[in-house]
Structure formats: C-alpha cells, structure tokens
C-alpha cells in the first residue's frame, strides 16, 4: 500500500535563466511543502531524464543539487510514460519496505535551454536508426501517420481532432500556471499551420520549461488520503515500423492489468488524467482505455462528457496541449492536478467528485504505457 502525500508543480512556459536542476528543485520543494515533510525525510529519489542536461547519473546529480542523501536513487527513461512509471516504481518501493518517502521528480528547461534544431534532433532519436531516422521524420510526423490511419479506420475527421485541442485550452484558461490562456475554437485549430498532416499546429503540444514532483509514502499524511489502488505497464514496441495494429496497442493491455490489480472498472472512474501530446494521442487513448467507444471520443467531447462539470472531467489543468510539455514533467502535471482535485484544493477548477481517478501515460509513439488508479480513502 502507498499514498501520494504531496505534489508540486511550477508554471509552464518560459523560465529564463533556470536550468533543469533548478526547475526540478522548485517542484520538489513545492511537493515537500505540500506533504509537510523536510528534505531529510526523503530516503528515495526517482528522477526522469532531461534532453537539455543528459547526465548519465541525473538522479544523484539532482540529489546533490537539492541537498538530500537518499538510500535509494534511480533514473528512469520511458518517454512520456516516465512520470507515471516512476510513480509506479515508488509505489512498489515503499510497499517492499525499501524506502519510506520517495521523491519523484521531472523537469526541464526545454524551451529556453535548447535550440529548436537541438530539440528536433534529440526527439528524432525515437526513430529506428536504420529504417526511420535517415528518412528525417519528427515526432509529429510519426503521430501524423498514426492519425491518418486512425482517421481512415474509424471515420474520424480533422474537425473531430480539433475538439480535443479546444477542450484542453478551455480548461487551461482557469489555471494561472498554464502556458496558454487565449481561447481557441475548432476553426482556429483548422486554420493553424500544418505541421504533419493531418495534424495542425494547435493539434500539437508546445515546448515548455517547467518542473513537477510528487512524494509517494508508505503511510498517509494529513486528513485527506490518496492511495495508489493499482497500476500496470505495457511495452509493445519501440519503433513505429515494428508497431502492432492500432487495435492491439499497449494502452488496452496496461488498463486491463491495472483494472485487475485495483479491483476497479472504468465505470468507477470519476476523474481522468490522460496523456495528450497530440490531439490524436488523446482521442486514441480515451478509446483504448474504455472511456469512449471506437471513433466516439470527439462526440463525447462535444456533448460535454469530459468537461469540468461532465460525467468524467478530463485534464482540468489544460493537459500537455495547453498547460505545456517540458518532457518528463509534462505528464507529471496531470498527476499534480489529479491530486489537487482528489484533495478538494483545485479552487475554481474543482470538480464534483474525484474519489476515483484514472491516470494514463504514453511514451514514444504509443510505445510504452502506464495505467494507474488512485483512490481518495478519506
């Protein structure tokens, strides 16, 4: 058994003069303050990667920078799924008695600390070195290919995908830390410049600076308790040329195993925090997870199902698409928002009921998946 006892989240966007370690430290201190813990209480550290500061021992470099001496330290790399993968590992560590309080942290100055060319080059390495990288595709290009196939198979349109960008921007408007605060419409998404057809600029998450952290503890702290109820992973491929059929991707495998581990079903979910690097990512994952039928997620968005006052509120901070994406910290913002919602501290964004939350992270090109259920037990 483990508990999320604290979370920390910086604003996303530009943080001029801040390094990855600085942003991670900011988020880590916010998480400690949230949990009411001191740095000396932390005996485990799990750290995500940074493309701007690709140190081979980033976890211990951060521990030194932050002034802690943990008995357990580990760095994790599974792309956008890293934040939840680290949280899952922390859950297992405290259950096994290896550590009492594990600090999970990710952050990066990807917007101000890295040139556009360097960022593209770093992210292009997700491709196969022989069969994909030499042809010059970018991450948006891979997802553009996936989107084209998905649209063909399920009758989804570009306007359907645009609905997800509008929803995320609408949610971001009420969060002061979001990178974007200008409202957009479906027409705005359709009019934005092409990036990797059928994906337009507003179908894609931005590049951001920022940091996020959480603390996973063996015992609860405070009156409101958020328990990790069950979690699971699935890794079906690394390169898109080796990917299975769209109907056999890892999200379905991970969620099935997480349901079994937690004893919960999708109908129990009251709040959802789902990875949304692109509009197609969010559309597909909602359907793969069972939150919508095949090809039906956009219709549910239009019907208000995922609104803040809808049946299953989704990414009420604005998600990667509008809160921002700073690498590992990008998806960890979903966890921070979920924790606020579950503990009744989301202010104007507060939903009616977040007692059972489903989180899902995706790494690579729908390659690595982590599903996790959280429960508010008091």
**How does pLDDT run along the chain (378 residues), one tens digit per residue?**
899 999 999 999 999 999 999 999 999 999 999 999 999 999 999 999 999 988 999 999 999 999 999 999 999 999 999 999 999 999 999 999 999 999 999 999 999 998 888 887 777 778 999 999 999 898 999 999 999 999 999 999 999 999 999 999 999 999 999 999 999 999 999 999 999 999 999 999 999 999 999 999 999 998 889 999 999 999 999 999 999 998 899 999 999 999 999 999 999 999 999 999 999 999 999 999 999 999 999 999 999 999 999 999 999 999 999 999 999 999 999 999 999 999 999 999 999 999 999 999 999 999 999 999 999 998
Question: Contact at 8 Å (CB) between 30 and 87?
Answer: no
How many whole angstroms separate alpha carbon 128 and alpha carbon 241? Answer: 8
Residues 6+ apart with CB under 8 A from 80: 275, 277, 328, 330, 331, 361, 362, 363, 364
Question: Contact at 8 Å (CB) between 164 and 214?
Answer: no
Cα angle 337, 93, 362; round to 5:
45
- The tokens for 277 are 């690097």
Domains of the chain: 3-114+208-217 (3.40.47.10)
Q: Is 283 left (phi over 0), alpha (psi -120 to 50) or beta?
A: alpha
Strand-pairing partners, residue 369, are 234, 362
How many whole angstroms separate alpha carbon 232 and alpha carbon 255? Answer: 7
Burial category of 33 from C-beta neighbours within 10 Å (exposed 0-12, middle 13-18, buried 19 and up): exposed
Sheet with 368-376, edge to edge strand ranges: 72-76, 44-48, 101-109, 209-217, 3-9, 226-235, 368-376, 356-363, 271-274
Q: What's the chain's length in residues?
A: 378
């Amino acid at each position: 058994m483990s508990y999320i006892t604290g979370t920390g989240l910086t604003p996303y966007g530009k943080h001029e003069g801040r390094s990855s370690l600085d942003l991670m430290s900011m988020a880590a201190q916010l998480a400690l303050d949230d949990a009411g813990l001191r740095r000396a209480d932390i005996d485990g550290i799990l750290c995500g990667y940074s493309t701007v500061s690709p140190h081979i021992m980033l976890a211990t470099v951060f521990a030194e920078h932050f002034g802690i001496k943990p008995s357990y330290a580990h760095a994790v790399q599974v792309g956008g799924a890293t934040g939840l993968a680290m949280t899952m590992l922390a859950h297992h560590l405290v259950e096994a008695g290896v550590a009492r309080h594990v600090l999970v942290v990710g952050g990066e100055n990807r917007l101000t600390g890295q040139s556009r060319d360097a960022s593209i080059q770093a992210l292009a390495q997700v491709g196969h070195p022989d069969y994909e990288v030499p042809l010059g595709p970018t991450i948006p290009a891979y997802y553009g290919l996936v989107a084209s196939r998905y649209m063909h198979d399920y009758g989804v349109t570009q306007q359907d995908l645009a609905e997800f960008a509008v929803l995320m921007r609408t949610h971001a408007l009420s969060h002061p830390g979001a990178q974007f605060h200008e409202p957009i419409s479906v027409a705005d998404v359709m009019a934005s410049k092409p990036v990797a057809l059928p994906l337009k600029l507003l179908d894609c998450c931005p590049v951001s600076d920022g940091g996020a952290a959480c603390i996973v503890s063996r015992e609860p702290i405070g009156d409101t308790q958020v328990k990790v109820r069950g979690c699971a992973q699935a890794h079906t491929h690394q390169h898109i040329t080796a990917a299975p059929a769209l109907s056999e991707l890892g999200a379905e495998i991970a969620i099935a195993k997480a349901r079994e581990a937690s004893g919960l079903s999708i109908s129990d979910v009251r709040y959802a925090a789902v990875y949304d690097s692109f509009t197609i990512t969010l559309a597909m994952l909602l359907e793969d997870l069972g939150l919508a039928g095949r090809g039906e997620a956009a219709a549910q968005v239009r019907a208000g199902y995922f609104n803040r006052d809808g049946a299953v509120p989704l990414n009420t901070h604005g998600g990667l698409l509008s809160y921002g994406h700073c690498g590992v910290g990008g998806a960890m913002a979903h966890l921070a928002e979920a924790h606020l919602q579950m503990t009744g501290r989301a202010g104007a964004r507060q939903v009616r009921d977040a007692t059972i939350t489903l989180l899902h992270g995706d790494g690579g090109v729908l390659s690595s998946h982590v599903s996790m259920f959280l429960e508010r037990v008091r």
